[in-house]
Amino acid sequence: MKPSRYNRRKFIRSATAATSAAGLFSILPKELLGNDAVPSIAGEYNITGKIPEPKINFSVIGINHGHIYGQTDAVIRGGGQLISFHAKEDDLAAAFAKKYPQAKRVTDEKEILEDKTIHLVLSSIIPNERAPLGRRVMQHGKDYMSDKPGITSLEQLAEVRRVQKQTGRIYSIMYSERFENRATVKAGELVKAGAIGKVIQTIGLGPHRISLSTRPPWFFDKKYFGGIITDIASHQFDQFLYFTGSTKADVVFSQTGNVAHPQYPQFEDFGDVTINGNGGTGYIRVDWFTPDGLQTWGDGRLTILGTEGFIEIRKNIDIAGRPGGNHLFLITNKDTQYIDCKDVVLPYGEQLVNDIVNRTETAMTQAHCFLATELALKAQKKAKKLVPGKA
């Protein structure tokens, strides 16, 4: 299947009518934003709400998923100055330019790659193109931040690792379910403080709404997105490694299936994984079965089990009725607490910018970034095919 442009006329009409960045996000359609995109609040760049003095210049190449808005906002609030962007699709480019009028649109990615004043390149291009782009970025002496999945095959991973080691550049994948979710950031603080003792296991659930009519053709062919575990579950592998402190892990069992969408034979709508690491164990389940009656694209959940308690996170919604997302429940031998995390500061953008300036690894180590992806790719490759109605 050849990726093709899909109908975005409704988006263009709506985007043109927007009068501000905040207004734009209120009308971004699912066909651009994606049901799993989590846009940042317009103007929220740091704890003071003010844009910091720029420390680096950055650009964007490829905006095929709405995650690029969260990526861009994270770097801006961390001290990055957006200079330019490249996108082949005129309608997607118009939306991006509306949100970020300071950025110049260039006609060829080489204008960005060969611009020596640019330090960092961001991308949410079609998934199987992200790793090749990242190699080009690093070979031009720049750091790179990709939307997930940042790599869609083990062959791509080997080549990215080679170029990263050769160039010494940063290859970061924005695992937004941790980096851009305030409750998950808060959970990291609690675990580090010993609130639940030693972590034994994580359970990560990543349900999504499919919204068939809004999806581009490449969405349904795993040669472009790598498979459901490669794509969605990369978030959960990242969280498993982070919360258990594992630096090594093995995939115990994995399975994938196309349970309910036979009209798309190259698509996968369900997957789950059991994993064992040197810091704990994990279970992951991802799917495309969020019902339309839920007031969000997916009831993403994370349970962190410790020797002295556990934490449960409802990332996007509390179906018991509390408004908004970022809900955290802390249960210990002492009591049960509910923590509203809506005001927790998101540190990833600032940490990454500082890493670029100082050549450090405070946002995420390169080893962690690659290991989370490697585990997802291995789980995808070894997955047993789930056939409905057959044991």
How far, in Å, CA of 58 to CA of 319, rounded? 39
- Between strands 327-332 and 301-306, the pairing is unpaired
Residue 20 has pLDDT above 80, yes or no: no
Helix ranges (DSSP H) in the chain: 9-17, 21-27, 30-33, 67-78, 90-99, 109-113, 130-139, 154-167, 176-179, 182-192, 222-225, 228-231, 234-244, 348-358, 366-382
Please write the tens of the pLDDT for every residue from 208-236: 999 999 999 999 999 999 999 999 999 99
Helix-, strand-, coil-residue percentages of the chain, each rounded to 5? 35, 20, 40
What is the average per-residue pLDDT within 314-319? 93
Asked if 313 and 322 touch (Cβ cutoff 8 Å), the reply is: no
pLDDT over 50 (residue 32)? no
Q: What is the tens place of the pLDDT at every residue in 338-362?
A: 999 999 999 999 999 999 999 999 9
Helix (H, G, I), strand (E, B) or coil at 125: coil
**What pLDDT is recorded for position 6?**
34
* Domain range 178-347+378-386, CATH class: alpha beta
Tokens 């193109």 belong to 129
- Work out the pLDDT band at 371, boundaries 50, 70, 90: very high
CA distance 170 to 77: 19
Tens of pLDDT, residues 33-76: 333 443 333 334 344 456 778 999 999 999 999 999 999 999 99
Whether the Cβ atoms of residue 345 and residue 52 lie closer than 8 Å to each other: no
| Rounded Cα–Cα distance for residues 369 and 164 (Å) | 12
Retrieve residue 328's tokens: 């955290």
Query: What string of DSSP letters covers 87-107?
Result: -S-HHHHHHHHHH-TTSEE-S
Whether 178-347+378-386 and 9-175 are alike in CATH topology: the answer is no
Pairing of strands 281-287, 301-306: unpaired
Per-residue pLDDT, 53: 85
Mean pLDDT of the chain: 89
* pLDDT category of residue 312 using cuts at 50, 70 and 90: very high
pLDDT in tens, 74-123: 999 999 999 999 999 999 999 999 999 999 999 999 999 999 999 999 99
- φ and ψ at 194, to 5 degrees? 85, 20
Q: Helix or strand or coil: residue 331?
A: strand
Its pTM stands at: 0.86
- Domain topology for 9-175: Rossmann fold (3.40.50)
Note the pLDDT of residue 49.
53
Token pair 């988006």 is at which residue?
Answer: 11
Domain residue ranges in the chain? 9-175, 178-347+378-386
CA angle (263 as vertex; 261, 268 as ends), nearest 5: 40
Helices (H), 346-385: 348-358, 366-382
**Tens digits of residue pLDDT in 120-134:** 999 999 999 999 999
Quick one: which of 214, 244, 282, 238 has its CA closest to 371? 238
Q: How far apart are CA 269 and CA 259, in angstroms?
A: 6
In the DSSP assignment, the letter for residue 266 is: T
Residue 63 CB partners (closer than 8 Å, separation 6+): 85, 87, 89, 92, 93, 96, 124, 125
Predicted confidence (pLDDT) per residue in 260-296, tens digit: 999 999 999 999 999 999 999 999 999 999 999 999 9
From the list 40, 25, 36, the residue with the least C-alpha distance to 346 is 40
